[in-house]
Amino acid sequence: MKVHTVYLLFLCCLLSNPSFAQDYFYNNRYYESDFLFEAGFSIGAINCLTDIGGRPGNGKRFLKDLNWQNTKFSGGIFMGVTYRYALSARLSFNMGNILACDSILKNDPSEARNRYRRNLHFKSNIAELMLLAELHPLMFFPVNNKANIFSPYLVGGIGLFHFDPQACLNGEWISLNELHTEGQGFVEYPERKEYKLTQLNFPLGAGIKLECSALLNLRLEILHRITRTDYLDDVSTRYIDPSLFQKYLSPNKASYALQLHNRQKELDPLIVTTPNAIRGNNSRNDSYFTIQCKLSLIIGRERR
């Protein structure tokens, strides 16, 4: 959809004029207001979809390739403004930890056995700041001139997130970005650009909001982040000539890179990996998502 079309739809929503009672529909001790402000916190779960791990068989798309056991805690804070219950803008900060490992496929006899033999893993802290818009469709059709206590909604926007994929070696967690494990930035691989650890994402999702009282809102929300990188896990494409690490990296980093870019020998000392053998799948970018409960304090309703 073209940008000007989106703006036109948004403007139409703003100009619509659903009828609201003067008193707050849930508690007549409060007056209603066109604009309501809120601030609150979120708690929930975070998970990711990357090249590492996955479900048995060939790699699948989205939830079909998700390992739910990798789900970790996430939390955050937010503040926002709502216009006549129908449109909201929200600034949100979230943190969480994502991870995946090929070892999860140890006992799988399917094609996924090759991923297990690859023997890679990663973890990364995620910190993000997002500007989001909510659309509450049912609020354009109030019942008896009153808004609904339950309101399903769509949410989307833009965010800035920071990540730092790491792998464990002899009990020490090593940052992978600076090791150029797939030759990112090397002259010999001009198509493989170095990836930045702070990037844009594009959150899309849905939720349901409950007006608990005149002062409290409760939400349940699932939010998927579309990213522009295939390196959340530091895995994207093919193995490189390992001799190049000594050419471009310091001796200490080259030593780490030699051990971490290819860990198949830890499972099979006899295996031989040739440069350009498949390490990852760059046909689609990595992504992550959260499922969160959100509790917020409403600001802007005046007592009678």
What string of pLDDT tens digits covers the 304 residues of the chain?
444 544 444 444 444 444 444 445 555 666 677 889 999 999 999 999 999 987 666 655 666 678 888 999 999 999 999 998 889 999 999 999 999 999 988 887 777 788 889 999 999 999 999 999 999 998 777 665 555 788 999 999 999 999 999 999 999 999 999 999 999 999 999 999 999 999 999 999 999 999 888 889 999 999 999 999 999 999 999 999 999 999 999 999 999 999 999 999 999 999 999 999 999 999 999 999 999 999 999 987 766 5
Any domain includes 82: yes
| pLDDT on residue 9 | 46
Query: Is 260 strand, coil or helix?
Result: helix
Any domain includes 201: yes
Instruction: Give the residue from 218, 151, 211, 220 showing the smallest Cα distance to 30.
Output: 211
Q: How far apart are alpha carbons 224 and 285 in whole angstroms?
A: 13
The CATH number for 222's domain is 2.40.160.20
Any domain includes 9: no
| pLDDT on residue 16 | 44
Any domain includes 264: no
For 187, counting Cβ atoms within 10 Å of its Cβ (0-12 exposed, 13-18 middle, 19+ buried), the class is: exposed
H-helix or E-strand spanning residue 11: helix 3-15
Cα-based angle 176, 181, 187 (whole degrees, multiple of 5): 125
* Secondary structure, 3-state, 151-203: EEEEEEEEEEEECCCEEEECCEEEECHHHCCCCCCCCCCCCCCCCCCEEEEEE
Instruction: Give the residue from 171, 167, 161 showing the smallest Cα distance to 196.
Output: 161
| pLDDT on residue 8 | 47
Phi/psi of residue 201, nearest 5 degrees: -130, 170
| pLDDT on residue 146 | 56
Any domain includes 209: yes
For 285, counting Cβ atoms within 10 Å of its Cβ (0-12 exposed, 13-18 middle, 19+ buried), the class is: middle
Any domain includes 259: no
| pLDDT on residue 215 | 87
pTM of the model: 0.86
| First and final C-alpha spacing in the chain | 45
Place of tokens 């099979």: 268
| pLDDT on residue 232 | 97
| pLDDT on residue 60 | 59
| pLDDT on residue 1 | 45
Q: Residue 113 belongs to what domain range? A: 23-168+196-237+286-303
Q: How far apart are alpha carbons 144 and 140 in whole angstroms?
A: 12
Any domain includes 175: no
Instruction: Give the residue from 165, 282, 284, 296 showing the smallest Cα distance to 219.
Output: 296
Any domain includes 268: no
Q: How far apart are alpha carbons 140 and 87 in whole angstroms?
A: 10
Number of domains in the chain: 1
| pLDDT on residue 84 | 85
